[in-house]
Amino acid sequence: MPRPVDNTVVSELRERIQRLEGASGRGRQVLPFGVTEIDRRLPGGGLVLGSLHEVAGGGNGAIDGAAAALFCAGIAARSKGKVLWCVTRPDLFAPALAQVGLSPSRVIYVEAGDEKALLSCMEEGLRHGGLGAVVGELARLSMTASRRLQLAAESSGTLGIAIRRWRRQAEASDFGQPTASVTRWRVSVLPSVPLPVPGVGRARWLVELIRCRAGESADFEVEAPDAKGRIALPSELAHGSPEAQARRRSAAG
């Protein structure tokens, strides 16, 4: 009969790993999603501040990045302070960010000439230490570049988010390459909430936690952020139903 796992030993090991990975061994703060099913999958109960996180869109969203951007905007909306948002393509729709709680007055927009300049802007923003979050949209993220961003985030305690966007669907395979990011997410669009009257209901997403350092992979069907940046699990959702599984397979494809 297998021996039960000693949770005390597991906790101690996680603390030792965090001390080795952290900039100075200090305890790291987290930003919870406020959804128990998600937060319990993340070490510490939320997204670790002072770290780099990666988000990409699934399916056609790998090109437009709309759902991924709104997912990140909801996270940034719940941070404290200004948000630096770096892009190379001038297609960011500010009113949509405002709908998920990220007011235009909080966002500093930077349009970089290329991804090399964008990475430099992100690194400087992360090292600054006076921002709530630094977000950058880019196609490629090497181990070296991601490590520099991770170290910069650790030095200031600022939340860093890399939104991966590609110009061609075939390029999305780059998302499988290893990086120094603490978590890696993929957000795919699902059919919106049905309404009893004509109209479009609240958007739904399949959010996949593909990688989590010192944690486990998982996927969640959620409703898009509200006006305060908070996502939610649909109250009537039956995760084990065939309909839910079919929606997930369709979105992931």
Within 13 Å, how many C-alpha atoms sit on residue 105's CB side? 0
CATH architecture classification, 27-189+198-252: 3-Layer(aba) Sandwich (3.40)
- Asked whether the beta carbons of 134 and 118 are under 8 A apart, the reply is no
Of 139, 115, 135, 137, the residue nearest 125 (C-alpha): 135
- Measured in whole angstroms, the distance separating CA 85 from the mean position of its chain's CA atoms is 14
Whether the pLDDT of residue 239 is over 50: the answer is: no
Q: What is the mean pLDDT of residues 117-139?
A: 97
- Measured in whole angstroms, the distance separating CA 117 from the mean position of its chain's CA atoms is 22
H helix runs in the chain, sequence order: 7-21, 36-39, 61-64, 66-77, 94-99, 115-128, 143-156, 242-252
Whether the pLDDT of residue 246 is over 70: the answer is: no
Per-residue pLDDT of 9-32, as tens digits, reads 766 666 666 555 554 444 579 999
pTM of full prediction above 0.85: no
Whether the pLDDT of residue 247 is over 70: the answer is: no
User: What pLDDT score does 60 carry?
Assistant: 83
Dihedral sign, Cα of residue 21, residue 126, residue 226, residue 31: positive
Phi and psi torsions of 52, nearest 5°: -100, 135
Per-residue pLDDT of 73-89, as tens digits, reads 999 999 999 999 999 99
- pLDDT interval class at 195 (50, 70, 90): confident
- pLDDT interval class at 170 (50, 70, 90): confident
Please give the full DSSP string across 187-219, using - where no structure is assigned.
Answer: EEEEPPPP-SSSS----EEEEEEEEETTS--EE
Average pLDDT taken over every residue of the chain = 87
User: What pLDDT score does 176 carry?
Assistant: 87
